[in-house]
Structure 1
Amino acid sequence: MTPLQARQLEDRFHAVWTRAGGAHARDAYADLAGRYGEPGRHYHTLDHIRRCLRDLDWARSTIDTADADAVELALWCHDVIYVPGATDNEARSAGWIRQWGTGMATAGRIAALVLETVHDGIPASTAGRFTADIDLAALGCGRRRFRHNGACLRAERTDLDDQAYDAAERAFLRALLDSPRIFHTELFHARCEARARGNLAWRLAQPGPPGVTGIRR
């Protein structure tokens, strides 16, 4: 990310945070950016957030105006807490917005949207479906980017050896591939579903471990 992109990203956070009624935007961003910049992060970084925001901007005209800022803030916050292998990263990330968003009327709703990035079912709300789909949109990218993302995800899991990582990755990807739909909005289903399924099937057909794609946790 270039210095200009980093500055634009910070300015964008300040704007949406302030619109939502949040206080101490600069302090909140400093904490958020520091967490996304933690050593050992290779995929769950501000670059991932920037790509999510790009997909949000592409879809924004189809998202209810009343939902757009809540979805954006959920995307900003959804990986702010990331401990490799932990099962409560999303819950703790939801807690981050509750802590920093004190006085923000929509903080509870944003926290609920963050929890949709657990991807354990079909989100009940349209805003939740957009949040979940944008988080997974990278599965539908080109094969070269898909491979690069996988190498970054693998690099984060230093707690697992290659065999254990390969088994966990395959289980996660197989569950996605076996689901009736990966993407729950019509917009992202049309844009990403076929290519995502192609990428997942390709990875699962590769013999042996890793560095090709990766599990999210």
Structure 2
Amino acid sequence: MLKELFISLLSRYTDDVVLAESLWKDLQKKYSARNRHYHNLSHLDHIHQDLVSIKDRIMDWDMLLFAIFYHDYKYNILKQNNEELSAKKAVIVLNTLGIDQDRINLCEEHILATKGHSISENQDVNYFTDADLAILGSEWNAYKTYFTKVRKEYNYYPGLIYNRGRIKVLKQFLDMPRIFKTDHFFIDLEGRAKINIEREIELLSR
């Protein structure tokens, strides 16, 4: 499904099937790395599924799609610049495809916004970052699976250090005026997300 979606997206900008296949294999390799327990192809698919139902509200669907595919291209738990490096990769690819600079800038903005998930003046960006966080508002069993997979990605860190850092991140979400910036996601997910986060903090604090 994801491969067909990506190849179809590329076909709107290039007829070079060799290039398209090469770009897909590169993505597939990155997102299928052994350390990718949560930030993998399934994560990309979930974001797409959460957004495709509101496709008609998105001003530039293609740039949002490129952002989905490249926003976690670089993922190293020991680094603080994953979003910047992922955005840089997307910019290189989109330049190769000859896409207009203003649209490239939009894709870059999408990806960089996942660093802090702050509200944007661009509603497309808000829809994208909301979808990236949609797992927070899932049913408890799905949420538990999510944070268990994230813990595996951070298995380099011992429990005490990880728990302290994770709690800090979770409390940052609770301190936001609202986790989800768009009404579409806020109405359905905000309440459950806060309950899930508070419950995880309680588990981590034991």
TM-score for both structures, normalised by structure 2: 0.91
Q: Is residue 77 of structure 1 aligned with residue 74 of structure 2?
A: no
In the alignment, what sits opposite 1:113?
A: 110
Cα distance in 2 between the residues matched to 1:195 and 1:22: 45
Which of 54, 62, 71 is the aligned partner of 1:59?
Answer: 54
Say whether residues 1:134 and 2:127 are aligned partners: no
- 1:93 maps to which residue? 86
Residue segments in structure 2 that go unaligned for 5+ positions in a row: none
Answer with 11-20 or 135-144: which moved more: 11-20
CA drift of 1:27 comes to 1.2
The 3-state SS of whatever aligns with 2:47 is helix
Q: CA RMSD in A?
A: 1.6
Q: Which amino acid aligns with 1:57?
A: V
Instruction: Please report how far the alpha carbon of residue 195 of structure 1 lies from its aligned counterpart in structure 2 after TM superposition.
Output: 0.9
The aligned residue for residue 36 of structure 1 is 31
Supply the AA of the counterpart residue of 1:144: N
Q: Deviations over 1:56-112 (max 9, x none)?
A: 112223323xx2221121111110110113111110000111122222223232112
Name whichever of 14-23 and 152-161 sits farther off.
14-23
Partners of 1:87 and 1:170 lie apart in 2 by 18
Q: Which amino acid aligns with 1:33?
A: Q
CA contact (8 A) 1:36 1:46 kept: yes
Match of 1:50 in 2: 45
1:22 touches 1:104 (CA, 8 Å); kept in 2? Answer: no
Structure 1 stretches of 5 or more lacking a match? Answer: 1-7, 210-217
Q: Deviations over 1:8-53 (max 9, x none)?
A: 2101101122325596221111111110011211001001001111
Amino acid of the structure 2 residue aligned with 1:206: L
Identity %: 26
Q: Is the CA contact 1:22–1:101 (under 8 Å) kept in the aligned structure 2?
A: no
Amino acid of the residue matched to residue 130 of structure 1?
Y
Work out the number of aligned pairs and report it: 200
**Deviation >6 Å, runs of 4+:** none
Partner of 1:4: none
Equivalent position of 1:214 in the other structure: none
> What is the TM-score normalised by the length of structure 1?
0.87
